[in-house]
């Protein structure tokens, strides 16, 4: 059985330039709660503790957004994304546990699972669900991926979530990876798609066909770059008998569509360039801005970022690389 993990109020915050409001969180959560989605993830686009000049300032604190969600969720679980190096146990995780967050996704770049040990071991002792998340999972070979997933299991994760943060995968890539992790690690597997190449919905289905029991999606695909798998499309084409209520999920889609008409993500020439370059989708606003400032073709900048193997949270490299390109 596949459950749906709704990232609209977290990944979608990228598309909203981190301006997500308490009042929208309340409105959305009240509707999502009865829709049958398993969990609703809330916060800054990069997760707990990442509101910053570097990655964008949140309009509302993590605490206020989570409190608003907590009040509105009864059936669906409240979830957060947290990256060690940004979120700390004392400042972010412990307060979130106390506030009643039920699912913690501890995320690292795909080759750096050991950064998650302290955080996952701490959470595993609390009465919460802990998922280990491997971001930018296209940047490692299969053997490496398996080794990192095994580490996260050892730290106390109850599921391994593979994120296609750059929207680089095609369905076959997803199937191979999900199948391997599912069979070899012996934990639940989740998949988080991005739509850079227009394949997010197909990839979400490929994941669940290959054994993923947690599928990430966002209403209207609201998410970084070209957005995530569109939740309502995946649900509409889920032919099992246990999917969320389509009518209610379409209600979420309409809510997002009417509330944020100027922020809806789509697959564009630029998102295809970034997908092919394998660069974190969340960089799209900076890449467009810096390309304009330095008179560069965004395609060249995406390619250069890909060549430097830039990972998430290296916004400052965009400017530096642009300066180098201009000097050529």
Partner 1 sequence: MEYAQLVTDDRIRVAILGSGNIGIDLCERLLVDDDFEIVALAGRRPDSLGLQRFVDRIPVIATDGISGLLPHFDSFDGVFDATSSFDHPGHWDITREHGKWIIDLTPSGMGRPMVPCLADRVDAMHLGLSVEPENLSMISCGGQSSAPMLYAITRGVSGISEVEVSVSVPSLSVGPASRRNVDHYVEATQELAAQVTGCPNAKAMLVLNPADPPVMMRTTVFVEAESIDLDAIRIACAEMITEVQKSVPGYDLAVEPYCPRAGLVSVTSRVIGAGYYLPPYAGNLDIINSAAVESARILGHHRLYKEVRT
* Interface pick for partner 1 out of 109, 138, 153, 175 (rule CB under 8 A): 109
Residue 319 contacts partner 1 per CB under 8 A: yes
For the bound state, the minimum distance from the C-beta of residue 195 to partner 1, rounded and expressed in Å, comes to 25
Report the sign of the C-alpha dihedral through residues 190, 275, 310, 55, in that order: negative
| Interface segment toward partner 1; rule CB under 8 A; list 10-18, 78-86, 158-166, 257-265 | 78-86
Residue 316 contacts partner 1 per CB under 8 A: yes
State which residue, 16 or 139, has the beta carbon closest to partner 1: 139
Residue 118 contacts partner 1 per CB under 8 A: yes
CA distance 224 to 254: 19
State which residue, 183 or 316, has the beta carbon closest to partner 1: 316
| Interface segment toward partner 1; rule CB under 8 A; list 66-74, 105-113, 234-242, 263-271 | 105-113
For the bound state, the minimum distance from the C-beta of residue 50 to partner 1, rounded and expressed in Å, comes to 8
| Interface segment toward partner 1; rule CB under 8 A; list 244-252, 256-264, 269-277, 303-311 | 303-311
State which residue, 77 or 319, has the beta carbon closest to partner 1: 319
* Interface pick for partner 1 out of 24, 60, 86, 280 (rule CB under 8 A): 86
């Amino acid at each position: 059985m596949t459950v749906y993990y709704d990232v609209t109020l977290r990944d979608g915050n990228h598309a909203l330039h981190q301006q997500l409001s308490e009042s929208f969180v309340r409105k959305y959560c009240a509707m999502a709660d009865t829709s049958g989605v398993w969990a609703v993830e809330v916060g800054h686009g990069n997760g707990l503790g990442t509101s910053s000049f570097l990655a964008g300032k949140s309009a509302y604190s993590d605490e206020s957004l989570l409190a608003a969600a907590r009040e509105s969720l009864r059936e669906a679980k409240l979830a957060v994304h947290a990256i060690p190096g940004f979120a700390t146990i004392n400042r972010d995780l412990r307060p979130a546990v106390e506030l009643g967050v039920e699912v913690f996704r501890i995320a690292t770049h795909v080759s750096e699972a050991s950064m998650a040990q302290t955080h996952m071991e701490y959470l595993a002792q609390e009465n919460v669900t802990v998922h280990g998340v491997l971001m930018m999972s296209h940047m490692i070979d299969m053997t490496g991926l398996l080794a990192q997933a095994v580490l996260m299991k050892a730290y106390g994760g109850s599921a391994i979530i593979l994120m296609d943060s750059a929207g680089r995968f095609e369905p076959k890539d997803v199937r191979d990876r999900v199948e391997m992790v599912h069979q070899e690690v012996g934990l639940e597997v989740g998949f988080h798609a991005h739509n850079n190449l227009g394949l997010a919905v197909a990839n979400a289905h490929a994941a669940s066909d290959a054994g993923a029991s947690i599928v990430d999606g966002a209403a209207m695909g609201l998410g970084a770059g070209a957005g995530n798998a569109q939740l309502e499309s995946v649900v509409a084409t889920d032919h099992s008998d246990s999917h969320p209520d389509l009518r209610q999920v379409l209600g979420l889609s309409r809510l997002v569509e009417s509330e944020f008409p100027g922020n809806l993500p789509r697959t564009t020439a630029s998102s295809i360039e970034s997908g092919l370059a394998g660069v974190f989708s969340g960089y799209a606003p900076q890449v467009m801005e810096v390309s304009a400032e330095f008179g560069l073709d965004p395609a060249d900048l995406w390619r250069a970022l890909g060549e430097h193997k830039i990972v998430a949270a290296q916004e400052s490299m965009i400017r530096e690389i642009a300066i180098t390109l201009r000097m050529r």
